[in-house]
Structure 1
Amino acid sequence: MTDLLSRESTPTVDRSQDRVRRCVESAREYLLSLQHPQGWWKGELETNVTMEAEDLLLRRFLGIDDERVTEETARWIRSRQRADGTWATFHDGPADLSTTVEAYTALRLAGDPIDAAHLRRAREFVLDSGGIEATRVFTRIWLALFGQWSWRELPVLPPELVLLPDWFPLNIYDWACWARQTVVPLTIVGAARPTRQLGFSLRELRTGVRPESTTGTLSWSGLFHGLDAVLHRLERLPVKPLRSLALDRAERWILERQEADGGWGGIQPPWVYSILALHLRGYPVDHPVLAKALDGLEGFTVREETGDGWVRRLEACQSPVWDTALAMTALLDAGTPGDHPALVSAADWIVGEEIRSGGDWQVRRPHLEPSGWAFEFANDVYPDTDDTAEVVLGLRRVRHPEPDGAEAVEASMRRATEWLLGMQSADGGWGAFDADNTQTLCEKLPFCDFGAVIDPPSADVTAHVVEMLAARGLADSAAVRRGVRWLLDAQEADGSWFGRWGANHVYGTGAVVPALIACGVPADHEAVRAAVHWLTAHQNEDGGWGEDLRSYVDRSWVGRGVSTASQTAWALLALLAAGERNAVVRRGVDWLVDHQRPDGGWDEPHYTGTGFPGDFYINYHLYRLVFPLTALGRYLGSGRDAGPD
């Protein structure tokens, strides 16, 4: 291995380097041990208890309750409750009203008595926070399904929305892919306005006080609230000329997008709402479409035995392609030869996952040849640019021993490169799933009080794409130059970059700086120096880096938080790319080495992944291993330039 600190030849530094090498080797062996025989890696994707609560509510709605499932799921939900009676959306986060209401409802459904101490504490928080009346729209939709909230008091999503042409404002392709997949089935659910028996009442969670509207009438939001009132009146009309056509179109749209694993988009919300919608369209639970969907949802289940008995929880999504791409890069940076059997096996598996069929992205790019990779095992409709970039960055360094295998790798990288070039948005950046998905009218609708509903270009995704294109020899291309300009323009005044898909400015900055350097931006460029200054200023006293997820809604948290393995690694990746080899870097490296577990991994209870900024967060269980291994490998200089294109 090349010693990047060879200029410092004191015995202390040598011993320090030996510690890092042992740390890297231990992490490398641990990562290799986690590879599936088919070639892929997948860490658990941990979210919050709304996944489990909504699963129990779905089962009650469909009439497929199962005593064991309910008991094990309830046990998991109870285990996540904090001492104050609340549930949060991320580890050590603030109490969340909607999450607490859904968890409380699920435990009542499981038979927990209303006067139990843990429910009493939860109820006190709910009432102090405004009650059911103050929950988000999605929570109240679930309650409306069981008569615990009035459909008349929910925003209207008319099925006729699916009939709008793709050039018309608010058509379904103006929504992000994850939002449109949720909205279309919800138009069916909202039109049906069903009510099933829950078996108990939630009157005890009502305050009787409606939150005051903060929407001004002279604004888009105010206009859409007025429009919603009109739509409510129209819903009461006995004749709706286009309703039957719209419902048929929505049903067909859903059916056409069911994946091989039975799901929709590989993520929980559209999967669950599509099941509800099709059931309300007359599909019984034993219909092949719904049977396949329910069986597939079981594949997202994690069961484990604890001291209190078996628990059952659900992943909101699964990330084998993403995890495998990151694992390949980590192993290569740790000095693993490009022709190592584990890497060859991973390359073969991942080449087989390339998407060669069309999808919704073609609405904006109809003439672009299909390629790319999706996040999940089975998701052929929604490849994403972020996964595709990381896959190619890993694949390009694998040295496949078989000529046919090497040819297949190169062909898939060539197609993916062209696809990524074609997915560049007009402003020069890249969104995750669609090009030019930037119309903000959707965000003003009363329905949209939870999560991102559009997919504009982001700094982290754009950085990964331009870094990959530079690695493919396109650093001087017009597309990369426009991407670099987008990144420079997107830099925050403090020198950092916002992280859309990871927490938060540490993630964004950790992605952008290596990309800028790879594209030929010099290390002494003012943007790079500003980023280095920001990272240096935000290093924790213990030598690591961390950023609390509250930074998405409260800027006082930007760059502040408990040190974590993944975030420390992200900061190091940026500093190393910028040429830093100083005490700041050494302290970060020492933090990682000092916090490594005996098995070679790291603990990371804090969430560092982002689903929807401000609302939904993720703990990727493999992040705590792949990113530290990558950073430490690059610190040692292992395999840095292996595998030329």
Structure 2
Amino acid sequence: MTSSVKSGATTRERAEEALAAAVAHLRGLQDEQGWWKGELATNVTMDAEDLLLREFLGIRQAGETEEAARWIRSQQRDDGSWATFHGGPGDLSTTVEAWVALRLAGDPAGAAHLRLAQEFVHAHGGLERTRVFTRIWLALFGLWSWDELPDMPPEMIFLPRWFPLNIYDWACWARQTVVPLTVVNALRPVRPLPFGVDELRTGAPAPRPAAPWTWPGAFQRVDRALHAYGRRPARRLRRKAMDRAAQWILDRQEADGGWGGIQPPWVYSLLALHLLGYSDDHPAMKAGLAGLDGFLVREETPHGTVRRLEACQSPVWDTGLAVIALLDAGVPADDPAVRAAADWLLGEEISERGDWAVRRPRLAPGGWAFEFANDLYPDTDDTAEIVLGLRRVAHPDPAAVRAAVERGVAWTVGMQSRDGGWGAFDADNTRLMPTRLPFCDFGAVVDPPTADVTAHVVEMLAAVGAAGGEPARRGVLWLLRHQEADGSWFGRWGANHVYGTGAVVPALVAAGVRRGSAPIRRAVRWLVEHQNPDGGWGEDLRSYRDPAWIGRGASTASQTAWALLALHAAGGADADAAAERGVDWLVRTQRDDGTWDEPEFTGTGFPGDFYINYHLYRLVFPVTALGRHLAGRS
């Protein structure tokens, strides 16, 4: 249902009414402690793997199994598959994991919905063509052979930092996943289930090895050597490696019991510790399992209670964006909601040294992370947005705010990579060797500089008066060098070129790039050309793999807002005309409760592989866009 507007209201009045309703809705979502957090929705692999983890640990309960199974069944598509994002194509590995989870829940293989899934799996290559992570879960239960999986020995933890494939060559999320998986891989556990997966096999032979002079072929042969070593490892070295890995894992457990605040390292760390003999009553295991329960979302539906697992939680990010949105909407800088959010954010500042210090050992800690509890992995993206918000708050202790902002800015500047850009969690995390391993057929495993993150940092530096400094100038040059041929910018953490362009244009303008310059006008032209006939913007997540989808997709509130932010910053008759149509789309599609419907996923975890629906995006970004639009036309 869309919102009603006053009869005869002017375009400006309608936009003001929409903004007021959206601000009221946003205010109503704030927690009494000062933070905001929208649900972070992904796909049913989270729920399938949660059930499999609990089955492996021997703690799965019938009630939670049925609630999760009910959710998984509800997400099946008409063709029998499960997708990785709303409206996307069916995904083979996701479908296999969902099928196994439903069999675990007691659904018979001959049930109509599982037969339909089986047909989809066969049509797309069968079990034999699933990704490595799916086959690891199958191997845990004897449904796939460990011998047919790539080998990752725990001894890699001893590799020096200068050596290729040392654990700090991996992105933070990848290294925290890989280290526990090396333990699981070395122990090769098998705990059989009372059913098999032969229904999903096609019997197709494994692909022929690649030529030895190619990267794939070379690593396939290295993998054979690692398998041979794994059958007869050096026992003392293997034991020391396992002990070192266990300590590495324990040292990185966060206050909430998790690892990195995200599902993959969390569940694999629990598996590794369990296999190393840590009982369910061990403090690390107890905290890990209890924390994982905090990621569960339960919802009542006409068919009963459903239970799903968030892959991550984003309160720090959401709160920073909400503060910016309210301030852009004209909420006073000393408003109680804004001050409460600032107080909470000040309490979330990072003061510990994490893995980022491996490449920046002399850099003092600072900045902010993404989650409730993630003291070891702050990120430059969150830090930039929070600085942009905090510096505008009229706080009763301005010195405390100023000091936190200065520490955040200094830490972020220190995380600049050699090429002038910024990655999210690490500096100079650009070695491509990990991406070539047979193990790495799913998800990004390195954290190089990206346009969206670099843009947010440049915008932050401009806001604190450092646009003329060398770090900002180098960041601007990086952005100009990485503009796509069509005038857009790639979006790493949001979908996709609309997100990247929506971030970069405001940053460049804030840093002093002329609105009339060629890069800005090319970006405006790209946005105008990709505006939908209804006035909004959208970009389907398939654009990460198929260029035909770049800039194309159903209009969404968040993506329309991103386009509006760029057009507002750029200005000009062409940008203004397109922006008016975009604002009209937001006004027309607003719900009566002040927010917008957005079933589409517009967040990105791993480009091409894993996507996110941030439930707060549909609100905070339209509030920011409408606020800036109206302020610019007062």
- TM-score normalised by L of structure 1: 0.96
User: CA–CA distance in 2 between the matches of 1:70 and 1:164?
Assistant: 41
User: CA–CA distance in 2 between the matches of 1:428 and 1:89?
Assistant: 33
User: CA–CA distance in 2 between the matches of 1:249 and 1:429?
Assistant: 33
Q: Secondary structure at the match of 1:607?
A: coil
Q: Secondary structure at the match of 1:207?
A: coil
What are the residue-to-residue correspondences of 1:303-318 with 2, within 5 Å?
A: 303-318=298-313
Q: Is 1:335–1:639's contact at 8 Å kept on the other side of the alignment?
A: no
User: CA–CA distance in 2 between the matches of 1:55 and 1:585?
Assistant: 44
2:224 maps to which of 229, 238, 242: 229
- 1:521-571 CA-to-partner distances (Å, cap 9, x unmatched) read 000110000000000000001100000000000000000000000000000
Report the CA distance shift for 1:427/1:13 in structure 2 as closer, same or farther (over 3 A).
Answer: farther
- Structure 1 counterpart of 2:68, one-letter code: T
User: CA–CA distance in 2 between the matches of 1:247 and 1:531?
Assistant: 51
1:472 maps to which of 464, 467, 475: 464
1:7 alignment counterpart: none
Q: Secondary structure at the match of 1:355?
A: coil
After superposing on structure 2, the runs of 4+ consecutive aligned residues of structure 1 that deviate more than 3 Å are 213-216, 238-241
User: CA–CA distance in 2 between the matches of 1:547 and 1:44?
Assistant: 21
2:3 alignment counterpart: none
What are the residue-to-residue correspondences of 1:505-544 with 2, within 5 Å?
A: 505-544=497-536
User: Structure 1 residue 221: deviation in Å?
Assistant: 2.3
User: CA–CA distance in 2 between the matches of 1:474 and 1:238?
Assistant: 54
What are the residue-to-residue correspondences of 1:347-426 with 2, within 5 Å?
A: 347-400=342-395, 402=396, 405-426=397-418
Q: Which runs of 5+ in 1 are unaligned?
A: 1-11, 641-645
User: Structure 1 residue 220: deviation in Å?
Assistant: 2.1
Q: Secondary structure at the match of 2:19?
A: helix
User: CA–CA distance in 2 between the matches of 1:633 and 1:185?
Assistant: 46
User: Structure 1 residue 13: deviation in Å?
Assistant: 11
1:6 alignment counterpart: none
Q: Does 1:485 align with 2:477?
A: yes
User: Structure 1 residue 583: deviation in Å?
Assistant: 2.2
Q: Is 2:138–2:144's contact at 8 Å kept on the other side of the alignment?
A: yes
- Structure 2 counterpart of 1:289, one-letter code: A
Q: Which runs of 5+ in 2 are unaligned?
A: 1-6
1:244 maps to which of 223, 236, 239: 239
Q: Secondary structure at the match of 2:27?
A: helix
User: Structure 1 residue 127: deviation in Å?
Assistant: 1.1
1:631 maps to which of 607, 614, 625: 625
What are the residue-to-residue correspondences of 1:185-584 with 2, within 5 Å?
A: 185-213=180-208, 215-237=210-232, 239-400=234-395, 402=396, 405-580=397-572, 582-584=576-578
Report the CA distance shift for 1:238/1:582 in structure 2 as closer, same or farther (over 3 A).
Answer: closer
Q: Is 1:336–1:639's contact at 8 Å kept on the other side of the alignment?
A: no
Q: Is 1:266–1:379's contact at 8 Å kept on the other side of the alignment?
A: yes
- Structure 2 counterpart of 1:298, one-letter code: D
User: CA–CA distance in 2 between the matches of 1:350 and 1:322?
Assistant: 10
2:604 alignment counterpart: 610
- Structure 2 counterpart of 1:557, one-letter code: W
User: CA–CA distance in 2 between the matches of 1:537 and 1:104?
Assistant: 42
- 1:152-204 CA-to-partner distances (Å, cap 9, x unmatched) read 00000000010011111110000000000000000000000000122211111
User: Structure 1 residue 128: deviation in Å?
Assistant: 1.4
Q: Is 1:335–1:638's contact at 8 Å kept on the other side of the alignment?
A: no
User: CA–CA distance in 2 between the matches of 1:218 and 1:325?
Assistant: 49
1:92 alignment counterpart: 87
1:9 alignment counterpart: none
User: Structure 1 residue 219: deviation in Å?
Assistant: 2.0
What are the residue-to-residue correspondences of 1:49-68 with 2, within 5 Å?
A: 49-68=44-63
Q: Does 1:588 align with 2:582?
A: yes
User: CA–CA distance in 2 between the matches of 1:214 and 1:261?
Assistant: 44
Q: Is 2:45–2:97's contact at 8 Å kept on the other side of the alignment?
A: yes
Q: Is 2:270–2:285's contact at 8 Å kept on the other side of the alignment?
A: yes
User: Structure 1 residue 285: deviation in Å?
Assistant: 1.4
Q: Does 1:180 align with 2:181?
A: no
Q: Secondary structure at the match of 2:10?
A: helix
User: CA–CA distance in 2 between the matches of 1:489 and 1:384?
Assistant: 23
Q: Is 1:334–1:639's contact at 8 Å kept on the other side of the alignment?
A: no
Report the CA distance shift for 1:487/1:215 in structure 2 as closer, same or farther (over 3 A).
Answer: farther
2:109 maps to which of 105, 114, 118: 114
Q: Secondary structure at the match of 2:353?
A: coil
User: CA–CA distance in 1 between the matches of 2:206 and 2:538?
Assistant: 35
- Structure 1 counterpart of 2:289, one-letter code: L
Return 574-583 or 474-483, whichever deviates more.
574-583
User: Structure 1 residue 333: deviation in Å?
Assistant: 0.6
User: CA–CA distance in 1 between the matches of 2:526 and 2:69?
Assistant: 44
Q: Is 2:537–2:555's contact at 8 Å kept on the other side of the alignment?
A: yes
User: Structure 1 residue 235: deviation in Å?
Assistant: 1.2
1:104 maps to which of 99, 108, 112: 99
- Structure 1 counterpart of 2:631, one-letter code: G
Aligned residues: 627
Q: What is the aligned-residue identity percentage?
A: 68
2:71 alignment counterpart: 76
- 1:28-87 CA-to-partner distances (Å, cap 9, x unmatched) read 011001000000000000000000000000011000010110000000000000111110
- Structure 2 counterpart of 1:410, one-letter code: R
User: Structure 1 residue 116: deviation in Å?
Assistant: 0.5
Q: Is 1:60–1:198's contact at 8 Å kept on the other side of the alignment?
A: no
User: CA–CA distance in 2 between the matches of 1:425 and 1:275?
Assistant: 33
Aligned CA RMSD, in angstroms, stands at 1.4
1:4 alignment counterpart: none
- Structure 2 counterpart of 1:224, one-letter code: F
1:643 alignment counterpart: none
Q: Is 2:368–2:379's contact at 8 Å kept on the other side of the alignment?
A: yes
User: CA–CA distance in 2 between the matches of 1:214 and 1:634?
Assistant: 56
1:41 maps to which of 23, 36, 39: 36
Q: Secondary structure at the match of 2:385?
A: helix
User: CA–CA distance in 2 between the matches of 1:421 and 1:239?
Assistant: 44
User: Structure 1 residue 266: deviation in Å?
Assistant: 0.2
1:157 alignment counterpart: 152
User: Structure 1 residue 394: deviation in Å?
Assistant: 0.5
User: CA–CA distance in 2 between the matches of 1:16 and 1:639?
Assistant: 12
User: CA–CA distance in 1 between the matches of 2:204 and 2:562?
Assistant: 45
